[in-house]
Amino acid sequence: MNNQCDIAIIGGGPVGTALALALRDSDLKIVVLEARKVEEQNADPRALALSYGSRLLLDKLGVWKNISQISAIKTIHISQKNTAGYTYLFADELKVPELGYVLPYPALQASLHQALKQTNATYLECAAVNKLDNDASGATLTYQYDGQEHRLSARLAVVADGGKLFENTHPPKVSEYGQSAVIAHITCNKPQADTAFERFTAQGPVALLPYLDGYEIVWTGSHAQAEDMLAWDDAKFLSELHLHFGSEVGEFTSVGKRSSFPLRLKRAPNTTFPHTVLIGNAAQTLHPVAGQGFNMGVRDAWELSRVILRGQPAALGSAAMLADYRKSRRLDRNAGIGFTDGLVRIFSNDLPVLSSARGVALSLLGKVPFAKKFVAKRMMFGANG
């Protein structure tokens, strides 16, 4: 392969691939370098809740129509354990066909990759970037591929690697939640069609996302609690879940393979690097409480593509272009981080005063159409809506 390109995308996860697709009609020479084999990406156990706004973007990328095995969310039930306060968000109230969708990470990846094959972008699988140098003239990547070290020069390097490459050299700002999420597919005897549940509890939120015959569960707790959840046998897991979540969907009847993820908020430092930009989880890694991570990442990718396409070709990777991109993302990024972080911190405790105030706030949210619409729009479209 020629060792020069216009844009090198480090990380062929959903955000990096979405960017390559968003630039497919340009004449730019784009190379995507992905460390994992497709089989490894296919083993990723995460299920993602996509917002209606992300669906519209994936539609524009030509990806939506190819996604298989997707379930819709038309209602979201939000409640708090041990208080009466709860609220519902309904798609028809907000005049959208669906509030969101649930699908496995590999299904999204498969569809993005299928679409990428129809473009001129080069996708290198098993290409692990281990160094990125940049100066005023451009960026140079060093990567391992096929047992050898290679170099690639680019006018713009886009770091979409989930946050690994710069972890040690330019560490992100990290806020620890002291929580892990245990995820699994569960079934129950009274599923509620197209309804997602978000229940706040003192140990952290628990979400049930409707998927096929049951729900994808995201159950958060302290790291020690998560270890216990992984160790319990199925019967114990299901009965503890019932105690924790309640009877809203009847009895839980089965649980699939469980995995856990430590949760923390990571923000890339404000440092700017010549000819380099960070997007998706590499720029911000969020708690999954509001299902915002990929949704924000795909907006990063889309907005970066718009800034690139509306700029002069010679401006690719310039300080002015990168500043333009950062400016366009500032509001949505800060609002998304603040919203997600605020939800975790306000709800993950059992202080009696806060607990009753939250219960009242949840009930009120359901009764004040403006507030309800505001929250739902933020979740669906972000702050730039």
Ligand X SMILES: Cc1cc2nc3c(=O)[nH]c(=O)nc-3n(C[C@H](O)[C@H](O)[C@H](O)COP(=O)(O)OP(=O)(O)OC[C@H]3O[C@@H](n4cnc5c(N)ncnc54)[C@H](O)[C@@H]3O)c2cc1C
Q: If DSSP codes are grouped into helix, strand and coil, which group holds residue 210?
A: strand
CB 62 to ligand X: min, Å? 18
CB-based contacts of 325, cutoff 8 Å, min separation 6:
277, 303, 304, 307
Q: If DSSP codes are grouped into helix, strand and coil, which group holds residue 62?
A: coil
* Burial of 303 per CB tally in 10 Å (0-12, 13-18, 19+): buried
- CB nearer to ligand X: pick between 221 and 280: 280
- CB nearer to ligand X: pick between 13 and 317: 13
**Strand pairing report for 195-200 and 75-80:** parallel
Calpha distance 120→31 (Å, rounded): 9
CB 142 to ligand X: min, Å? 10
Q: Which of 13, 172, 214, 336 binds ligand X (CB under 6 A)?
A: 13
The residues with which 220 forms a beta bridge, in sequence order, are 181
Calpha distance 114→62 (Å, rounded): 10
CB 129 to ligand X: min, Å? 4
124 contacts ligand X (rule: CB under 6 A): no
CB 315 to ligand X: min, Å? 25
Q: Which of 6, 98, 161, 332 binds ligand X (CB under 6 A)?
A: 161
162 contacts ligand X (rule: CB under 6 A): yes
| H or E segment and range at residue 188 | strand 173-188
Q: CB 176: neighbour CB atoms within 10 A?
A: 9
In the bound state, the residue with its beta carbon closest to ligand X is 13
- CB nearer to ligand X: pick between 222 and 363: 222
- Dig out the tokens for 165 from the structure: 């490459």
Please name which of 39, 132, 87, 95 lies closest in space to residue 366, comparing C-alpha atoms: 87
128 contacts ligand X (rule: CB under 6 A): yes
165 contacts ligand X (rule: CB under 6 A): yes
201 contacts ligand X (rule: CB under 6 A): no
294 contacts ligand X (rule: CB under 6 A): yes
- Options 40-48, 77-85, 228-236, 327-335: segment touching ligand X (CB under 6 A): 40-48
Question: What is the C-alpha radius of gyration for the chain, rounded to an integer number of angstroms?
Answer: 21
CB 218 to ligand X: min, Å? 6
The residues with which 100 forms a beta bridge, in sequence order, are 51, 73
- Options 35-43, 245-253, 266-274, 375-383: segment touching ligand X (CB under 6 A): 35-43
Q: Are 205 and 198 in contact (CB under 8 A)?
A: yes
- Options 132-140, 156-164, 240-248, 309-317: segment touching ligand X (CB under 6 A): 156-164
Q: Which of 9, 19, 30, 36 binds ligand X (CB under 6 A)?
A: 36
Q: Are 227 and 137 in contact (CB under 8 A)?
A: no
Given the structure tokens 């089965």, which residue do they identify? 254
Q: Which of 72, 217, 218, 255 binds ligand X (CB under 6 A)?
A: 218
**Binding stretches for ligand X (CB under 6 A):** 10-16, 33-36, 41, 46, 48-49, 128-129, 160-162, 164-165, 181, 183, 218, 261, 280-281, 288, 291-295, 297
